[in-house]
Amino acid sequence: MHDERRRIEERVQRLHDQRIKTAIYAATVPLAVEAWQAPGEPVPFAEAAAAPYAPFAMGTPWGPPWGTTWFRMRGQVPTAWAGKRVEAVIDLGFVGDWPGNQAEALVHLTDGRPLKAVNPLNQYVPIAHPAVGGEEIDYLVEAASNPDILANDFAAPTPLGDVLTAGDKPLYTFRRADIAILDEEVWHLDLDIQVLRELMLQLGEHDPRRHEIMHTLDRAMDLLDLDDISGSAASVRQALKPVLAKPAHASAHIISGVGHAHIDSAWLWPIRETKRKTSRTFSNVTSLADEYEEFVFACSQAQQYEWVRDNHPHVWARIQESVKKGQWAPVGGMWVEADGNLPGGEALARQLIHGKRFFIEHFGVETKGVWLPDSFGYTAAYPQLARLAGNEWFLTQKISWNQTNKFPHHTFWWEGIDGTRIFTHFPPVDTYNARFSGEEMARAVRNYSEKGGATRSLAPFGWGDGGGGPTREIMERARRLKDLEGSPKVEIEHPDAFFAKARAEYPDAPVWVGELYLELHRATYTSQARTKQGNRRSEHRLREAELWATTAALHAPGYAYPYAKLDRLWKTVLLHQFHDILPGSSIAWVHREAEAEYARVARELEELTAEAVAALGEGGTRVFNTSPFDRAEVIRTATGVPTYVEVPAGGSAPVAVAEPPQPVTVSGRVLDNGLVRVEVAEDGTLASVRDLRAGGREVLADKGNLLRLHTDLPNCWDAWDVDKHYRNRYTDLLDADSVTVVDEDPLLGSIRVERSFGKGSKITQTITLRAGSPRIDFETDIDWHEAEKFLKAGFPVDIRAPHSSAEIQFGHIQRPTHTNTSWEAARFEVSGHRWVHIAEPGYGVAVINDSTYGHDVSRTVRDDGGTTTTVRLSLVRAPRVPDPGADQGRHRFTYSLLPGATIDDAVAEGYALNLPLRLADAAGAPEPVVSVDGEGVTVEAVKLADDESGDIVVRLYESRGGRAAGVLRTGFPLAGAQVTDLLERPLEDAEIVDGGVPVTLRPFQILTLRLRRG
């Protein structure tokens, strides 16, 4: 047989694209359209319904950036169309086929009920099926003219990312608003051909099935009457039935399809637009559920449900009904799909607590899995946190984006830092926006790593990132692919069902231990430094407010614990941990609003904490210590006078000078407190740091606190990525404008270094050494005006460290300092929380921070044979896309060098730097709510139980990485104690011995105790 593949393939493509697809709508009549441009921000339906509308013609430009235009559309279905399937078809002037970042609209009836949304690949609104003819159409359509931020593939900065800079030029040209007949036979033919043609092109050139499909399509095209597509469609479909009816092979891979609509809670649009995106997408999904009884839609992010509940009660009611019918599956159990690295431990716990509780309260559904397809790597604390919240499985897809190494598994057991394991799956389809295309189906089978051990994978299907969700066309593809030769089988089912089947057939799946590090998007540990600082400080302020509110509730008669306010503030912070807000990868508008929200949260939490402390009564100035460790340190009083105080963990003490330690001496540029001696060089770097407790050991191998400015232009994704070549071009900031002694108090010595550099940028650093502490602080004030630059602060330490330890949620993770393998080399930029620690046997050093997350650790061998291990903190970046002004302006933060540090020291000083002692006027000295006898048992949270019972909830963890034992003692009569899950539900009774609760923890174990007052 002659090879006619090219002729046939080109013939099928042309007839499909140019004739069949264009005949899907058999007849149309235009709707009469009027328009009203809403001023400023979106308005409620009632205001839009009462607005004055003006005639609007097709082909007219509309929609300034971030604007809202309401259209009124009226018409009547022709009586001759009785019995036909009739739809309204609306094209706002869509660009491309992605519904996420462009014009979108929600269609309402005149009574305010949302019907359905329209977007590029979902332009229809059902009217009647079958139509009786003569129906009156009257719609109010809320259209958002969101700019296409991705229009230039992120090649250059754009002013469109903020309403303040976007201008007012119309972005779109309205193309179509019609009533139309959907020719169902032609529509189905279109889908038949799509599925067969895509399958054919994925099969091997010598596969008989490919040639069978090809020649069947060729013969079927002979039956297509180009003058009567509609009339001949049925016969063409009949000719294709035999190849569509052939069943899949018995060993065919099984894909569990679950509807999905990934909606970034903010990204290339502000939060206010996400509130509308959720209603648009969810109205589409509930409409689709009415058409396809087998449809199942998985949806995470409790915050988005809450927005819909509050803004569109009709859509909310439809969601509740779909959940009851089993077609809507709440999943994920988190408040938002948070970043997987940066939120603190307690914050990740609260993500799970607030998310799971929302679904239980509103749907009676307890979610079983963590659904995080798009976060940028995943902390090794997740398995334990997920299981403590009652989850059984974990899903992500993002690790398939790795730049260097291919992750070896798709289904596996993931083991966290404490040994907890959770059953985990990466969809081999390599997307969370699947459409069941032939290429996707072939890719899933080709990629699947578990061949021979397991047979099934999951595919989240539907348009996503900016929402949109599944379409009827995708559902029709799934029906055709349910059992089709040459393709994997597609089953639509709940993700819980998939995970149950996958675990049953593959119980001995391989184990991956430790973090799931994404070899991409490493700059998200640093970009938008003020957003990250706002998160870090909010987390610690929440801890502080809860502790002192609990103290006041126990000891101050009449004080009311602020349950509702704390709940609201927590949810605000949790929202801003979304994986495109906290990582710094959103448009300018998002980060501008985030900074304002963090400032508001700070004010409110300051008020709550002040109220709680004031409720303890007046009686003189006291110092309050929120840290879980006893503190003895120098603080400044209200008048600025340095004072040395001692304060118990979680308690308070009067401002009375304690036994003074050895004083600080300042001699030239040398600071000495008997513990360490610090010499500042003429250029403002550290020339020497000697640990006097270790016989005068020199800590540094070269200039310390070396500020290095790198050129930073990644290959793409500016705000997300830093590529290894950034290291090759840099400038060391060694020109100091001034180096000046500013404090010479016996309790505190400081030297200030000022530098100017680059495009008008300035850095002022105050290097401080306090009496009684080996910690050296670098209080930093940066006025930053660079572009495409990356600023690092380096500490080359004379230590041969085989690995670094970086704090993560509820523990720490060790990473090799060598680059023996490609996996280690790919970790050239990593994340950590409050501290990084390096050590050789007998001696260690920690670098501590109060707001940054990115860092790198490297080592070299010197000519003298010694090893230099260098820790560099990532301080600030200057990407220009998607926010042209990212990180510009003022930054204030502190980082510290801690010589002679153990892991215990790093943990304690990390808390100390991030939880400054508080001065306040208060009476008496109430006992700390809880205290712990025993090393390694660290208190992370103290609060009243969420059920308002008055019980006290305490969250503890083992912080050193070894076994720990101790006794939890209370500052109140203890009547009972229970071990609970994260949602504060009892697991077992805890023993009480001599008024305390004995605690034994394995390495990095998290323990939640619920304490009942006597």
d(CA 866, CA 878): 36
d(CA 175, CA 59): 6
d(CA 385, CA 345): 9
d(CA 654, CA 321): 59
pLDDT on residue 96: 85
> Per the structure block, which two tokens stand in for 293?
């009884």
Tell me if 435 sits within 8 A of 405, measured CB to CB: no
Percent of the chain with pLDDT over 70: 100
- Assess whether pLDDT exceeds 90 at residue 132: no
Look at strands 867-877 and 835-840 and give their pairing.
unpaired
> Per the structure block, which two tokens stand in for 79?
């009586």
Per-residue confidence at 2, pLDDT binned at 50, 70, 90? confident
- Distances from the Cα of 84 to the Cαs of 138, 185, 228, 882, in angstroms? 20, 12, 18, 47
Q: DSSP letter string over 469-500?
A: B--HHHHHHHHHTTT-TTS-EEEE--HHHHHH
pLDDT on residue 722: 98
Percent of the chain with pLDDT over 90: 95
pLDDT on residue 660: 74
pLDDT on residue 658: 66
d(CA 673, CA 130): 88
Q: DSSP letter string over 752-794?
A: EEEEEETTTEEEEEEEEEETT---EEEEEEEEE--SSEEEEEE
Tell me if 652 sits within 8 A of 544, measured CB to CB: no
User: SS3 helix, strand, coil % of the chain, rounded to 5?
Assistant: 30, 35, 40
Q: What is the mean pLDDT of residues 913-940?
A: 92
> Per the structure block, which two tokens stand in for 50?
């009462």
pLDDT digits (tens, 9 = 90+) for 238-251: 999 999 999 999 99
The helix (H) or strand (E) run that includes residue 910 is helix 903-914
Average pLDDT, the chain: 97
d(CA 825, CA 41): 48
d(CA 295, CA 318): 15
pLDDT on residue 618: 80
> Per the structure block, which two tokens stand in for 993?
């011995």
d(CA 329, CA 367): 9
Neighbours of 728 (CB within 10 A): 8
Q: What is the CA angle 863-866-868, rounded to 5?
A: 100
Tell me if 274 sits within 8 A of 266, measured CB to CB: yes
Residue 837 pairs in a beta bridge with: 805, 846
- Assess whether pLDDT exceeds 70 at residue 80: yes
> Is the CA virtual torsion 413, 416, 422, 426 positive or negative?
negative
- Assess whether pLDDT exceeds 70 at residue 107: yes
Look at strands 706-711 and 297-299 and give their pairing.
unpaired
Helix pair angle (271-291, 302-311), 10° resolution = 90
- CB contact set of 990 (below 8 Å; sequence gap of 6+): 977, 978, 979, 997, 1009
Per-residue confidence at 926, pLDDT binned at 50, 70, 90? confident
Q: What is the mean pLDDT of residues 170-193?
A: 98
Question: Diameter of the chain by CA atoms?
Answer: 101
- Assess whether pLDDT exceeds 90 at residue 82: yes
pLDDT digits (tens, 9 = 90+) for 415-426: 999 999 999 999
The helix (H) or strand (E) run that includes residue 941 is strand 937-944
pLDDT digits (tens, 9 = 90+) for 367-414: 999 999 999 999 999 999 999 999 999 999 999 999 999 999 999 999
pLDDT on residue 656: 74
Q: What is the mean pLDDT of residues 70-95?
A: 96
User: How many CA atoms, within 13 angstroms, populate the side-chain half-sphere of residue 457?
Assistant: 34
Dihedral of CA atoms 784, 787, 788, 790 in degrees, nearest 10, equals -10
Q: Which among 374, 712, 718, 721 is annotated as catalytic? A: 374
- Find where tokens 């995080």 sit: 372
Annotated catalytic, 374?
yes
Tell me if 662 sits within 8 A of 774, measured CB to CB: no
- Assess whether pLDDT exceeds 80 at residue 681: yes
Q: What is the mean pLDDT of residues 95-115?
A: 93
pLDDT digits (tens, 9 = 90+) for 693-728: 999 999 999 999 999 999 999 999 999 999 999 999
pLDDT on residue 637: 86
Nearest partner of 367 among 341, 334, 398, 345, judged by Cα = 334
d(CA 816, CA 805): 9
Beta strands in 45-97 (DSSP E): 54-55, 61-62, 67-76, 86-91
Q: What is the mean pLDDT of residues 138-146?
A: 98
Neighbours of 148 (CB within 10 A): 19
- Distances from the Cα of 149 to the Cαs of 72, 145, 171, in angstroms? 28, 12, 12
CA 959 to chain centre: 25
- Assess whether pLDDT exceeds 70 at residue 657: no
d(CA 301, CA 371): 9
Is the pLDDT higher at 813 or at 150? 813
- Distances from the Cα of 666 to the Cαs of 686, 742, 958, 1006, in angstroms? 15, 10, 39, 44
Residue 141 pairs in a beta bridge with: 71, 107
pLDDT digits (tens, 9 = 90+) for 549-608: 999 999 999 999 999 999 999 999 999 999 999 999 999 999 999 999 999 999 999 999
Cβ density class 760-791: b for 16+ within 10 Å, e for less: ebbbbbbbbbbbbbbbbbbbbebebbbbebbb
Per-residue confidence at 130, pLDDT binned at 50, 70, 90? confident
pLDDT on residue 84: 94
